[in-house]
Amino acid sequence: MKIDAGFAEEAVSRALKSGADQAEAFIRSSRSLAVEIKDQSVDSLKSARSFGYAIRVIKKGRLGFSYSTDMSDVGFAVEKALEAAKFSDEDVYLGLPEGPPESSDVAVFDPEIESLSEDDAVRNVMVLEKSAYETDNRIKRIRKAAGSFTVSETVVGNSNSVLASYAATSCSAQVTAIAEDGNESQMGWDFGAGRFFRDIPFDDIGRNAAYRSASLLGARRMVGGKTDVILDNSVTVDFLGIFAASLSSEAVQKGRSLLAGRLGRKVISEKVNLTDSGCLSGRSGSSPVDDEGVASGETVVVRCGILENYLYNTYTARKDGAPSTGNAVRGRFSSLPSVGITNLFIGAASDSHTVRGKDILGSVDRGLYVIDAMGVHTANPVSGEFSVGVSGLWVEKGEIRYAVKEAVISGNILDFFSKVRAVGDDVRFYGNVGGPSLVISDVDASA
């Protein structure tokens, strides 16, 4: 449904008249279409609409919060928020962003997605399955070929003259292909997501999933020991997920970040930068403002290996005496804003450290090209210790020799990224996290 920004202003006004010192209204509506294909037929087709709003108040230094899906219920929602404030602890760091807000000029709306028909959505998801089967005759099954298409609108307003609204679209595609040869089977997966339909290559995603599964057929165990490792850009993204939580100022303030107390210090290789940006047109995590109405921005968190910044929302920024970096996020309209990434990506600190993606295997004399990692999410987010199962391809003198199965790489995430020797020019985003191929030296690998 179309959101009237005046509703946010009305909700804030009601809260102030009822005794709030500060008040905020956050409103989001969306409609989505999800498609799953099996054997070139529709296996599932689901459409959904949602609408909801949240009221956040501050009264006498205490926080109150409530939410509703009924616009006519706004008076009661305000009362519930004020009632909740009576039972919360006083907190001197509470406060809402100051306005009037600026907003980033970032493209996040695609009319093609807004007008996409169900038939067109189905045809494109069919391409995922079809292209996977056509890539290699050893692809015998497709476990999941799925796509989603969403249109949303967000409004956020508060009593400090913030009033911002924007419409956004998103599109995603994923497929899992299974290759078989005799009694052996291997699985490969690929995924794409963004704000614009034209940026989702359904055929390439299907082909990539097929290639990954077929390339692992005939896999055998490798000899364990210290080795160079080449991370496929999808695996680089998996490992960046460990960093994502540690960059949050909220995690730092609670002592739950492996980067706590390391500002101004070298934490990873000087050959890479790590950046968070909500201003990348077309990317999944981009928006003109964050979920508190603060203008989205770009923050270099690690420059040439040195930790320069954490990510902040308004509350954590006040605690540290720092400005918000525009990283307030809400999982749903019914959630309070926390700190999260927008679009997080790693890249070369200078051109001298960059290798063309197609040449990166040739830069390794002996090593393991990792194309799938399992259990990266189990890494300890505070210590950074990890031990994950991987599969991939053994490389000698730049040539693939054989597929590798049941290998394990282990270490500490900061030490791991401190050993980056080369950075590919092939950055690819998987959702709101992006990374290139990386060559990492002296990694502990066991079979």
Question: In this predicted model, what pLDDT tens digit does every residue of 150-165 receive, in sequence order?
Answer: 999 999 999 999 999 9
With bands split at pLDDT 50, 70 and 90, how would you rate the model's confidence at 236?
A: very high
| For the chain, the helix, strand and coil percentages under 3-state DSSP, each to the nearest 5 | 25, 40, 35
Residue 1 scores a pLDDT above 70:
no
Residue 378 scores a pLDDT above 90:
no
Residue 355 scores a pLDDT above 90:
no
Q: How far apart are CA 379 and CA 383, in angstroms?
A: 9
Q: Please give the sequence-ordered ranges of beta strands (E in DSSP) within 204-303, or none if there are none.
A: 225-231, 272-277, 298-303
Q: Mean of the per-residue pLDDT values for the chain?
A: 95
pLDDT mean over 230-251: 93
Q: 313 φ, ψ to 5°?
A: -105, -170
pLDDT mean over 50-79: 97
Q: Would you identify the CATH topology of the domain 5-215? A: PmbA/TldD fold (3.30.2290)
pLDDT mean over 287-293: 97
Report the pLDDT value the prediction gives residue 2, as an integer from 0 to 100.
Answer: 82
Q: For residue 438, what are the β-bridge partners?
A: 231, 423
pLDDT mean over 226-245: 93
Residue type, 142: I
Buried b (16+ CB within 10 A) or exposed e, 380-390: ebeebebebeb
Report the pLDDT value the prediction gives residue 220, as an integer from 0 to 100.
Answer: 93
pLDDT mean over 207-233: 95
Report the pLDDT value the prediction gives residue 10, as an integer from 0 to 100.
Answer: 97
User: Please, what is the end-to-end C-alpha distance for the chain in angstroms?
Assistant: 55
With bands split at pLDDT 50, 70 and 90, how would you rate the model's confidence at 428?
A: very high
Q: For residue 65, what are the β-bridge partners?
A: 56
pLDDT mean over 380-387: 89
Provide the angle, in degrees to the nearest 10, between the axes of the packed helices 202-215 and 118-135: 30
Residue 69 scores a pLDDT above 80:
yes
How large a percentage of the chain has pLDDT more than 90?
A: 89
Question: In this predicted model, what pLDDT tens digit does every residue of 73-123 receive, in sequence order?
Answer: 999 999 999 999 999 999 999 999 998 767 778 999 999 999 999 999 999
Question: In this predicted model, what pLDDT tens digit does every residue of 197-206 receive, in sequence order?
Answer: 999 999 999 9
- What stretch(es) of the chain map to CATH 3.30.2290.10? 5-215
CB 178 within 8 A of CB 212: no
Closest CA to 167 of 96, 119, 113, 101: 113
Report the pLDDT value the prediction gives residue 193, as an integer from 0 to 100.
Answer: 97
DSSP for 64-91, please give it: EEEEES-GGGHHHHHHHHHHHHTTSPB-
* Whether residue 288 has a cis bond before it, omega within 30° of 0: no
Residue 245 scores a pLDDT above 90:
no
